[in-house]
Amino acid sequence: DAGVTQSPTHLIKTRGQQVTLRCSPKSGHDTVSWYQQALGQGPQFIFQYYEEEERQRGNFPDRFSGHQFPNYSSELNVNALLLGDSALYLCASSLAQTSGYNEQFFGPGTRLTVL
Amino acid sequence: AQTVTQSQPEMSVQEAETVTLSCTYDTSENNYYLFWYKQPPSRQMILVIRQEAYKQQNATENRFSVNFQKAAKSFSLKISDSQLGDTAMYFCAFVPAGGFKTIFGAGTRLFVKA
């Protein structure tokens, strides 16, 4: 049973460029969340997707956008890259909760470096 | 605003000994979930233990246990019989009941020494 996978592993971009990161959730999961983890910091919630809709968004500008596909996989797009966007981007999947809380499973992350 | 604070940037412990990592949080919610996650060097983040705020009994998972003090908004993690494989970043995290956004602390880097 494959866990959460992310691609690419590493990425180097220059300021002003655009980037797309990809995530495949754990088998059976239908909800995907994206986090940004700057070096030495805790992850910061970007947004969560469920049923192909953005369900909740953190405090990130509109340059950060996403998409969820019918097979539950997801993309994170960042436009007009800034040096401060350099970070580890984590994807986490879970089963949508009907009550209580369902555990999130994290992927290995994509390390984005903006020069 | 909901926040999670981990006041210990780094800690070390001798193998086989016990260590406690501290976490405090701030929320006006009455129902929520608290978590400790482990992120080993260059490896994926995994859930160590979780606590439902409505449960008074402290959660335990093998060598890992928590001390949950709801009134004080404190949630510490105790690791007993520390092992070399426990070396990692540990993050305390919070989710309000019915919410979707997980709020993480800044982390505590734990070194287990042989």
Distance from CA of B16 to the nearest CA of A (A): 27
- Please report the residues numbered 66 through 85 in chain B whose beta carbons come closer than 8 angstroms to any beta carbon of chain A: none
| Region for residue A98 given its phi and psi (left: phi exceeds 0; alpha: psi -120 to 50; beta: otherwise) | alpha
Test mutation, A101, A105, A106, chain B, max B CBs within 10 A: A101
Q: Does B103 touch chain A (CB under 8 A)?
A: yes
Domain A5-95 CATH class label: mainly beta
Supply the pLDDT for residue A62.
96
Distance CA A76, CA A115 (A): 19
Supply the pLDDT for residue A31.
94
Question: Which chain B residues are closer than 8 Å to A48 by Cβ?
Answer: 100-101
* pLDDT tens by residue, B32-71: 999 999 999 878 999 999 999 999 899 999 999 999 999 9
Question: H/E element holding B25?
Answer: strand B24-26
Q: Amino acid identity of A105? A: F
* pLDDT tens by residue, A64-108: 999 999 999 999 999 999 999 999 999 999 988 766 677 899 999
Q: Which residue ranges make up each domain of chain A?
A: 5-95
Asked if pLDDT for residue A48 goes beyond 90, the answer is yes
Q: How confident is the model at residue B97 (pLDDT cuts 50, 70, 90)?
A: confident
Question: Which chain B residues are closer than 8 Å to A41 by Cβ?
Answer: 106-107
Q: Quote the mean pLDDT of chain B.
A: 95
Judge: B100–A44 Cβ closer than 8 Å, yes or no.
no
Question: Which chain B residues are closer than 8 Å to A108 by Cβ?
Answer: 43-44
- Domains in chain B (CATH in brackets) are 3-113 (2.60.40.10)
Question: Which chain A residues are closer than 8 Å to B43 by Cβ?
Answer: 108
Distance CA B60, CA B48 (A): 10
DSSP secondary-structure letter at A84? G
Q: Does A43 touch chain B (CB under 8 A)?
A: yes
Supply the pLDDT for residue A101.
75
Q: Which chain B residue shows the shortest CA-CA distance from A97? A: B98
Supply the pLDDT for residue A100.
65
Percent of chain A surpassing pLDDT 90: 89
Q: Quote the mean pLDDT of chain A.
A: 94
Q: Does B96 touch chain A (CB under 8 A)?
A: no
Q: How confident is the model at residue B90 (pLDDT cuts 50, 70, 90)?
A: very high
Asked if pLDDT for residue B30 goes beyond 80, the answer is yes
Q: How confident is the model at residue A57 (pLDDT cuts 50, 70, 90)?
A: very high
- Residue B72 contacts residue B83 (beta carbons within 8 Å): no
